[in-house]
Structure 1
Amino acid sequence: MKKIGLIPIRKGSVGIPNKNKKKIVGRPLFTWVLKEAIFSDLDEVYVFTDDSDVISFIEKEYHWTAKVKALLRSDENASDTASTEAAMVEFSEKINYDFDLLCLLQATSPFTLYSDIDACIQKIVADNYDAALTVVNTHRFTWGKEGTAYNYNVFNRPRRQDFEGLLIENGAVYCTTAKAFKDSSNRISGTIATVEMAEESLTEIDSKSDWLIVEKLLAQRLKRNRTPKKITHLVLDVDGVFTSGAITYTAEGEHTKEFDMRDGMGLEILREDNINVMVMTSENSPLVAARMKKLKIENVYLGVKDKYALIAHIIKENALELAEFAYMGDDVNDLANLCSVGWALVPNNATERVKPYADVLINADSGNGAIREACEWIIRYNERFE
């Protein structure tokens, strides 16, 4: 059975400009569900969009997996008035309905996990439903405008523990068989199963206040799932960690970056303790490549925008655990990793935006011995496991 994931994205957004690309916990909103789709049981995942910037991002960023593809969506089916079903039909026709199961994943649902996607798939594959969707069980009482209670008796108000609640669509995941979709042209039809997700996933992102709420909940979920262990891997950003963040330019482009020699000695000490050092930066800098070669750091990843997904890939491929990782960053694009690794470290001069998420606030500034201090802290921390 060929299982295809579809993430439709529009360039325009009325409530929040560029919502799908806007960074939440340091990552573009749409990448949260995309990362989970990559690690799900789906065979292929398509980002279907009218935004050429998103297509370029997909083609450049996810070279480490053959699972992700980007496909151009027509302007007609990316307008404010176009339905999601119309986009699904256009997509299906573009790939000649080459699937047995189609899974619609909403880019605006960052709480979706690969386990939620897999649960919907299993309802169709193993339990023989025609379709499945994700819901939330809410214990709130619902009313109509005419003053009628829909789901309880006002003269016999149930206690929360005695109330079964009400299932509400959270708009995250919809799966359907190819046959059911061809017959109905609808995201769900035929015999339909429900899969419950956490109540926090019911929060919709329609306003700036919604955004702040979801971002806080998302960061809390990442932090809640952490279980620190002995540190075996240290991942480092470059600008604002190895360097002060200052760069000099000439007419030909980037000219110099300044590195602290003490940091190099600290990393050498870590390697002697069998701690694997990785470097990830969004910049594709020859200067950084040369410096890391000098430091004999083998795992250097340049030009990486979605570090969170890449780390997840490395962990899966090498049978590692996120709890064994320490991460050092200084700005918002490091937030997802700072919230999820075993230990989060930031230099003293990191942005105020990320400092609240740090487990360890290094006394030294970046480019001025911060990495060396972090290395010494890791060595001392690991002693408790000996």
Structure 2
Amino acid sequence: MKKIGIIPLRKDSKGIPGKNKKKMLGRPLFSWVLTEAIFSDLDVVYVFTNDEEIINYVNKEYHWTSKVVALLRDEENADDTASTESVLLEFAEKINYDFSVLCLLQATSAFTLANDINQAINKVILEEFDSALTVVKTHRFTWNSAGSPQNYDIFNRARRQDFEGLLIENGAVYASTKEAFLTSKNRISGKIGLVEMHEESLTEIDSLTDWIVVENLLAERQKRQKSNQRIEYLVLDVDGVFTDGGIYYNAEGEMAKRFDMRDGMGLEILRQNGVQVMVLTSENSELVGQRMKKLQIQDTFLGVKDKYSFLKHILAIKNSSFGSVAYVGDDVNDLANICSSGWSFTPANATDIVKHHADIVLRNDSGTGAIREVCETILKYNKRYD
């Protein structure tokens, strides 16, 4: 039974220009649901868009998985008047209806988790519903425009704990069997199952104020999921962590970066104490590759823009989790990992937003002993587990 997901994306957005590509905790908004879809029970996930930039990004950043396919969407079906159903029909025709279960995932629902997707799929496959959708239970009292209460008695106001509440569609996940979709040409139809998600997922992103609210809620959710355990992996950014963030250029291009020798000794001692060191940087620098080879750091990954998704992939291969990671970063593209790793550090001269979210702001600046300080801190911390 082939289970596929589709994330439809339009190039333009009037409410928030470039919303789908705008950085949410340092990652393009659509990448949050895409990553969860990759680690769900879906067999294939299609990013269906008319934006060539997104297609190029997807092809480059998710080369490590065969589950993701970027597919070009017709321009005439990508304007403000196009319905989601018309997009689903276009998509289904382009892939020759090659699926048993179709799962619609909305890019603007950053709170969607792999488990939410799996529950919707299971409603259709295991519980034999024709379709399913995600909802949120809210304990709000509603009124109509005529001034009448819709779901409670004003003279017998129920306490929150005694109030059953309302189930509201949050627009995050929809799943349908092929047969139901072909018959109804609609995202949901027939016997419909419900999957409850957390109330925070009801927040819609229609304005910049909404964006700020969702980003803060998302950061706090990632932090709540942190767990304390022995640190097995130290994952490091390069520019602004190993180096002072400066790059020296000549006419031929990148010429030099400055590294602190004391950091190298700290990493060697850390490895001797059973902590594996990884380097994860968005820059594809030959100089960085040479320095990491000198430091004998075999797990060096260059040119990685979506650091969160890639690190999650690496940890899955190692049968580990973010709880075993100490992460060091200095800028917005590190934010997702800063908020998610068991312990997160940032140099004294990092950007303010990273300092705000990191567990520990180091005493030392980048390139002048910050990594050595991290190494010594981890060694002390791990003693309680050794």
**TM-score, length-scaled by structure 2:** 0.99
Report the residue type matching 1:385 in the other structure: Y
Instruction: Determine the structure 1 residue equivalent to 2:43.
Output: 43
How far the C-alpha of 1:381 sits from its partner, in A, is 1.1
Q: Which amino acid aligns with 2:178?
A: A
Counterpart secondary structure, 2:352: coil
Displacement of 1:145 after TM fit? 1.1
Worse-matched range after superposition: 223-232 or 32-41? 223-232
Two-structure CA RMSD over aligned residues (Å): 0.8
Aligned to 2:209: 209
In the alignment, does 2:242 pair up with 1:242? yes
What is aligned with 1:52?
A: 52
| Alpha-carbon shift at residue 251 of structure 1 (Å) | 2.5
Q: Which residue of 2 aligns with 1:131?
A: 131
Q: Take 2:221 and 2:188, find their aligned partners in 1: how far apart are those partners?
A: 29
2:28 corresponds to which residue? Answer: 28
Paired letter, 1:149: P
In the alignment, the residues of structure 2 paired with residue 220 and residue 270 of structure 1 have an alpha-carbon distance, to the nearest angstrom, of: 30
**Which residue in the other structure is 1:366 paired with?**
366
Residue in structure 2 matched with residue 106 of structure 1 by the alignment: 106
- Alignment: residue pair count: 386
Gaps of 5+ in 1: none
Amino acid at match of 1:259: F
Aligned to 2:70: 70
Q: What is the DSSP-based 3-state SS (H/G/I as helix, E as strand, rest coil) of the residue aligned with 1:174?
A: strand
Provide structure 2 residue ranges, at least 5 long, that are not aligned to the other structure.
none
Q: Secondary structure at the match of 1:376?
A: helix
> What aligned pairs does 1:282-301 form with structure 2 within 5 A after superposition?
282-301=282-301
Counterpart Cα distance in 2 of 1:81 and 1:250: 51
1:19 matched residue in structure 2 = 19
1:248 maps to amino acid: Y
SS of equivalent to 1:313:
helix
Name 1:150's counterpart in structure 2: 150
Alignment partner, residue 313 of structure 1: 313
Identity of aligned residues (%): 64
Q: List per-residue Cα deviations over 1:244-269 (Å, max 9, x = no partner).
A: 11111222221111111111111111
Query: How far apart are the structure 2 equivalents of 1:72 and 1:254?
Result: 35
Query: C-alpha separation between the residues in 2 aligned to 1:179 and 1:151?
Result: 36
Q: Does 1:267 align with 2:245?
A: no
SS in 2 for 1:97: coil
Counterpart CA distance in 2 for 1:97 and 1:165 is 38
CA distance in 1, matches of 2:59, 2:234: 27
Deviations 1:134-190 (A, max 9, x none): 000111011111112111122222111111111000000000011111111111011
Deviation at 1:321, TM superposition (A): 2.4
- Paired residue for 1:220? 220
**Segment drifting more, 249-258 vs 117-126:** 249-258
Aligned-partner Cα distance in 1 for 2:36–2:353:
26
Alignment of structure 1 residues 150-169 onto 2, 5 Å:
150-169=150-169
Q: Encode CA deviations 1:216-246: one digit per residue, 9 max, x unaligned.
A: 1000000011111111100000000011111
SS at match of 1:353: helix
> What corresponds to 1:189 in structure 2?
189
* CA shift for structure 1 position 316: 1.4
In the other structure, the counterpart of 2:332 is 332
Aligned partner of 2:118 in structure 1 is 118
CA distance in 2, matches of 1:72, 1:252: 37
* 2:277 counterpart residue number: 277
Amino acid of the structure 1 residue aligned with 2:323: A
State the distance in 2 between where 1:54 and 1:196 align. Answer: 30
Q: Work out the CA distance in 2 between the residues paired with 1:29 and 1:271.
A: 36
> Which whole-Å deviations, capped at 9, do the CAs of 1:264-284 have from their partners, x for residues lacking one?
111111111111000000011
* Deviation of 1:76 (Å): 1.2
**Contact preservation (8 Å) 2:348, 2:363:** yes
Distance 2:251 2:187 in 1: 53
Report the counterpart of residue 357 of structure 1 in structure 2.
357
Query: Which residue number in structure 2 is paired with residue 174 of structure 1?
Result: 174
TM-score (norm 1): 0.99
Whether the 8 Å contact between 2:4 and 2:99 is mirrored in structure 1 is yes
* Aligned-partner SS, 1:365: coil
Report the alpha carbon displacement of residue 345 of structure 1 after superposing the two structures with TM.
0.4
User: Which stretch has the larger CA shift, 190-199 or 312-321?
Assistant: 312-321
Cα distance between partner residues in 2 of 1:11 and 1:242: 37
Question: Over residues 195-216 of structure 1, what are the superposed CA-to-partner deviations in whole Å (9 max), with x where a residue is unaligned?
Answer: 0000000000000110111011
How far apart are 1:28 and its partner, in Å? 0.8
| Separation in structure 1 between the aligned mates of residue 81 and residue 360 of structure 2, nearest angstrom | 48
The one-letter code matched in structure 2 to 1:76 is: E
Q: C-alpha distance in 1, partners of 2:76/2:156?
A: 51
SS at match of 2:135: strand
Other structure's SS at 2:42 match: coil
Q: Is the 8 A contact 2:312 2:321 kept in 1?
A: no
Counterpart amino acid of residue 240 in structure 1: G
Matched letter for residue 186 of structure 1:
N
> 1:1-30 CA deviation, whole Å, 9 max, x = no partner?
100000001110111111111111111110
